[in-house]
Structure 1
């Protein structure tokens, strides 16, 4: 069975969207690379292989984007059988993904799942 994966940009309770703010803050070329890889993730879902994506821990994944020497990481999780929720992004400057970034993604996931039910998601869907 082929799954029609849907990408959602996480928003905080006060309406801030960390992933959109990060993408908007980058140069156009880097924005294009990030958005292209998000689209590829939407096509492939959890079968997107390394070097494009990787599982970090406890259901938190990273999308791996190299651009102009920067290593951009977009953190995300899967939920409700067909949704991919992008939590936030950052430029990786250390060998490993910082623990604080993983914890932030877990916090965003917990908040998202406590506020948003599967029936609410159609209105939140972002077509990339």
Structure 2
């Protein structure tokens, strides 16, 4: 089993807030994928996870009906993943601004764990 931690800042947890804002069925699907990540880690492979090029970030890839979701995370230490940011994908390409948010949160997290 792997540990999954939700990134938090000022008592706000962006991924949890994002999941809570979705429909109950979408919430269940997203949480199921997070469970799979905690069970299988990086061996989960495509189509569930994918490493983002030129970053040390990964994306958890979730499809529910016609909706596509992404949860950005990174592998912190052996056996621990930090979920940073989540989006409902509306374009073919993942928006750069969302990747930048995840990178910024990752850097803040790493600074706090020094």
TM-score w.r.t. structure 1 length? 0.84
What's the offset of the Cα at 1:66?
0.8
What's the offset of the Cα at 1:40?
0.3
Is the aligned partner of 1:7 residue 2:4? yes
Cα distance in structure 1, aligned partners of 2:42 and 2:107: 20
Which residue of 2 is the match for residue 19 of structure 1? 15
Secondary structure, aligned partner of 2:91: coil
After superposition, what is the alpha-carbon deviation per residue over 1:50-102, rounded to whole angstroms, capped at 9, x for unaligned? 11110113111111111131101111000122210001110111111111111
Aligned residues: 113
Cα distance in structure 1, aligned partners of 2:70 and 2:40: 18
Report matched runs for 1:1-128 at 5 Å: 4-12=1-9, 14-57=10-53, 58-116=55-113
Cα distance in structure 1, aligned partners of 2:56 and 2:37: 15
Secondary structure, aligned partner of 2:82: strand
Question: Higher relative CO (CA 8 A, sep ≥ 6), structure 1 or 2?
Answer: 1
Moved over 3 A (4+): none
RMSD: 1.1
What's the offset of the Cα at 1:20?
0.3
TM-score w.r.t. structure 2 length? 0.94
Secondary structure, aligned partner of 1:76: strand
